[in-house]
Structure 1
Amino acid sequence: MSATTDRKPSVLFVCVHNAGRSQMAAGFLTALSGGAVEVRSAGSMPAEMINPSAVEAMLELGIDIRAEKPKVLTTEAVKDSDVVVTMGCGDTCPYFPGKRYEDWVLEDPAGQGVEAVRPIRDEIRTRILGLLGELGVTPVGA
């Protein structure tokens, strides 16, 4: 889907706890798309709060995800998204024929310090830039 259509493309990021990887991905896509992409994130078993090391790692790049809360994955969120990016949720993620799915194999930042989260964050940023290109959206401030 191109950014030149009447409707914004939509992307859903899913991981188990919706506290690290999916929140960082959503933060990057929100910031780098400049609002040209509708962004969602959710988890199959949401945590109580976002991983503080993920928050710190993102703040280092000027992206503030402190106000985000882990959300439960719903079938509606999957149905309403053009692209579903899973990050380690395996069989707990719902699947709908006709949706574009990507599975990003990334280390889980749970319980790790910011030093260990930085390389995960940087890999997510690289993948987000690739996804923007595939969606036909020019990154903002990249």
Structure 2
Amino acid sequence: MQQEQPIVPSVLFVCVHNAGRSQMAAAYLEDLGAGAIEVRSAGSAPADELNPMVIAAMDEDGIDITTATPKVLTPEAVRVSDVVITMGCGDACPIYPGKRYEDWALDDPAGQSLDAVRRIRDDIKYRVTQLIAEITSEPKATT
């Protein structure tokens, strides 16, 4: 008898520039989710590079995101994700039936001080922790 592979849920974080909020959320989900959740991030109008204050704030919490790069949001990324978390990208995110959509109202770290970015980071970490608890406790679909 062949053993079934576990179904791994996937989450897509979307913000405008994919240089701050969505990158922090993706990094926390990668770290705290310990491989139990597939993680993506993208932006509706990606920046050329990550916000340096975001890199510094995440480094303070022991997470190195220096190799992350902003990516463009594609319909395919949304289609293959189970949960789509938007962070101020408005109507730029395509809507597909059967997906879980959430909008997290978070300040944009662009142009903010390190102290302000720390507050945004801590809010994101809390929300990601809650998301992990919800996703990993949801009953799995059976066939």
- Give the TM-score normalised by structure 2: 0.90
Whichever residue aligns with residue 102 of structure 2, its letter is E
1:15-40 CA distance string (max 9 Å, x none): 00000000000000000011111000
- The answer for the alignment partner of 2:140 in structure 1 is none
Q: Is 1:116 paired with 2:116?
A: yes
Question: Distance between the aligned counterparts of 2:114 and 2:67, measured in 1?
Answer: 19
> What is the CA distance between 1:93 and its match in structure 2?
1.2
- The answer for the alignment partner of 1:19 in structure 2 is 19
- The answer for the alignment partner of 1:70 in structure 2 is 70
1:1-21 CA distance string (max 9 Å, x none): xxxx71211000000000000
The equivalences for 1:115-134 within 5 A come to 115-134=115-134
Question: Distance between the aligned counterparts of 2:78 and 2:15, measured in 1?
Answer: 13
Question: Distance between the aligned counterparts of 2:113 and 2:64, measured in 1?
Answer: 18
- The answer for the alignment partner of 1:88 in structure 2 is 88
Question: Distance between the aligned counterparts of 1:33 and 1:135, measured in 2?
Answer: 10
Runs of 4+ residues deviating >3 angstroms: none
Whichever residue aligns with residue 39 of structure 2, its letter is V
Whichever residue aligns with residue 66 of structure 1, its letter is T
> What is the CA distance between 1:113 and its match in structure 2?
2.0
- The answer for the alignment partner of 1:97 in structure 2 is 97
Aligned length: 133
Whichever residue aligns with residue 77 of structure 1, its letter is A
> What is the CA distance between 1:105 and its match in structure 2?
0.2
% identical aligned pairs: 63
The structure number with the bigger radius of gyration is: 2
- Kindly indicate whether structure 1 or structure 2 has the higher relative contact order, using CA contacts under 8 Å at least 6 residues apart: 1
- The answer for the alignment partner of 2:106 in structure 1 is 106
**Partner SS, residue 35 of structure 1:** coil
Question: Distance between the aligned counterparts of 1:36 and 1:50, measured in 2?
Answer: 26
Q: Is 1:54 paired with 2:54?
A: yes
Q: Runs of 5+ in structure 1 lacking a partner?
A: 138-142
**Partner SS, residue 47 of structure 2:** coil
Q: Runs of 5+ in structure 2 lacking a partner?
A: 138-143
Question: Distance between the aligned counterparts of 2:113 and 2:47, measured in 1?
Answer: 17
Question: Distance between the aligned counterparts of 1:113 and 1:36, measured in 2?
Answer: 33
